[in-house]
Amino acid sequence: MEGWFSTISAFEKIFWYFVIPFTVIFIIQTVITFTGIGGDVDLDDGMLDGIDASLPIFTLRNFIIFFTVFGWTGIASINAGFSKLATIIVSVLLGMIVMFIVSSIFIFMSKLAESGNLDLEAAVNCVGEVYLTIPEKRTGVGKVQMQFQGGVREIDAVTDGETIQTGDKIRVIKVIQNQMVLVEKIR
């Protein structure tokens, strides 16, 4: 290998100096990403948390991707007979394009995740069934089961009326304290 490396031009060696370390880091990073190794480590990877959907371009992941693609494109361009200027231009452009595509993919994937939060306001006017008896006039708490937000949920409930027995049908009137619902019996 040493003999081969001494025969290539200094210009091509520059690209090899980018390709070797960045490709190794890229492979390690990809394996770690897809196997979940280190998933419990809380490091800032430059990806956005929350609702902001702007495109994070300058991240460690994109830096590694850019120089990996830049290096391999440069080597391929040199071997294809491109001039030095054309090699640099093509390498930079392709590196930036791939970097943008990967950022877009990660943004898209982050939008696929659900928050998992239960929005009780979505239960208002929903119909369900009493699971545990609800005492009269808010003197105690019972439980109701109803289907909303894509699943059957069990929620604490109170009523302003008479006691509602297990198995009775109810309708949610409003949300109380963000964790409980006020219900009425359906007659």
Long-range pairs for 176-183: beta carbons < 8 A, 24 or more residues apart: 178/120, 179/120, 180/141, 180/155, 180/156, 181/120, 181/123, 181/124, 181/144, 181/155, 181/156, 181/157, 182/157, 182/158, 183/128, 183/134, 183/144, 183/157, 183/158, 183/159
pTM over 0.85: no
Say whether pLDDT at 178 is over 80: no
Q: Is residue 137 within 8 Å of residue 159, measured between CB atoms? A: yes
Tens digit of pLDDT for each residue in 144-156? 999 888 888 899 9
At 116, the pLDDT band (50, 70, 90 cuts) reads: low
At 41, the pLDDT band (50, 70, 90 cuts) reads: very low
Say whether pLDDT at 45 is over 70: no
Biggest CA–CA distance in the chain, Å, is 92
Structural domain spans, the chain: 2-112, 120-185
* Cα 181 to Cα 88, 129, 131, 136, 151, distances in angstroms: 64, 13, 14, 14, 17
Percent of the chain beyond pLDDT 70?
87
Q: What is the pLDDT of residue 23?
A: 96
Q: What is the pLDDT of residue 39?
A: 54
Q: What is the pLDDT of residue 75?
A: 96
Helix, strand, or coil here: 49?
Answer: coil
Q: What are residue 3's phi and psi, to 5 degrees?
A: -65, -40
Q: What is the pLDDT of residue 106?
A: 79
How far apart are alpha carbons 75 and 77 in whole angstroms? 5
Say whether pLDDT at 51 is over 50: no
How far apart are alpha carbons 67 and 29 in whole angstroms? 14
Say whether pLDDT at 47 is over 80: no
Is the domain covering 120-185 a CATH 2.40.50.140 domain?
yes
